Amino acid sequence: MKAFRMVIAALALLPALVVAQTVPLPAPAAGSTAIVPSPPTLSASSYILMDANSGRVLVEHNADERLPPASLTKLMTSYVVSYEIAQGRVSGDDMVTISKNAWSQNPVFRGSSLMWIEVGKQVSLHDLHVGIVVSSGNDASVAVAEYLAGSESAFADVMNQHAERLGLTNTHFVNSHGLPHPEHYTSARDLAILSRAIMEFPEEYDLYKMKEYTFNNIRQVNRNGLLFRDPTVDGLKTGHTNEAGYCLAASAVRDGMRLISVVMGTASESVRERETEQLLSYGFRYFQTHKVYEAGAQVSQTRIWGGEKDQLQLGVTDDVVLTIPRGRHGELEAVMNVDQVIKAPVAAGESYGELVVSLGGETLATVPLVAIEAVEQGSIFKRIWDALVLFVTGLLS
């Protein structure tokens, strides 16, 4: 036993090395084409096309330019509502008393849109959320801001804290509705990132595909015209002021691939819809989504020391899904950086390296490699033998 302890002590001095291994990728889907033209040039101040699953940007133009967002602001207002509901701090059934300040958001503010709530009445938080998403109600936005944070200014601070947490580096809010202010701005990239975050709340995201709703005996129609002529589109939000022009954040799903587009600063409603359609069509036609690794499946295996078995199966905790240009699946490269010395016991889910998938030198995904099974310690003789082998290996290296 004294010799065993000496070997174990020497083993602790071995360097923590990482071994890189190339691993195979699944076969590509049939019917791919390798012809991918340059992206379209749109009549817009700024735009972006993003893969919703990975966040990879497929097309962008002036995507980080700080611009007035108009009612695209309400994406963040809606996100805060969804977040608070998910945290259990509020419920869609909560009744909100409408203040005079919320009610007074009327057409005297040029370009304002309304849910037509009435001062002193109580409205459920769910109905107010629908009013924000579908009819773009400024009155509903203010009512929600006051209910969740106590005042519009306090709610703007909450919005900005969420923006920082989500990594929105070119965004700053001063109100919940999007009426112009010199310090109220965002960017196409930030809005795409925010749209991805909204989709983390699927029940709330379902509101965005509502084509119409009736409140207070007033029927209102969703301003996103793409909902009415493209069945693959299920969101998100329109915006317009003189300063911002006509804007549209949209999302669609085709053949299992979801894309997010943001188009800002176009000349009219028809132009923002036409340019959005062009952007989405380009993405769906010339890009393809591949599930390159499945959650829980074995990606590779590596040596484990002192365990009841000699091989440790490694995999990923979540599906690795990538959207890449059609016909380039064969160019994907995957490398595993695995800890060289892994000693039992090992618990399932523990990380022992990382998997890096790249295309043409660009890293597309870096995910932890985890043990997909537990491995207990082996017998005392197995541990002594493996410790001796490691000790000799360390001396030789």
Distance (Å, whole) CA 83 – CA 76: 10
Handedness of CA 358, 311, 295, 369 (dihedral sign): negative
The residues carrying an active-site annotation are 71, 74, 136
Q: How far is CA 351 from CA 14, 110, 155, in A?
A: 20, 56, 39
The helix/strand count (H/E) of the chain reads as 11, 17
Give residues with Cβ within 8 angstroms of 202, minimum separation 6: none
Q: In whole angstroms, what is the distance from residue 235 CA to residue 253 CA?
A: 10
What token pair was written down for 259?
């894309």
Q: What crossing angle do the helices spanning 74-86 and 188-198 adopt, rounded to 10°?
A: 30
DSSP strands (E only) in 100-162: 122-124
The whole-angstrom distance between residue 164's C-alpha and the CA centroid of its chain comes to 15
Q: Which two tokens stand for residue 306?
A: 């002192």
Please give the DSSP secondary-structure letter assigned to residue 87.
Answer: T
Whether the link from the prior residue into 15 is cis, omega within 30° of 0, is no
Instruction: Compute the half-sphere exposure of residue 198: CA atoms within 13 Å on the CB side of its CA.
Output: 29
Two structure tokens written together for 326: 């059609």
Residues, the chain, total? 397
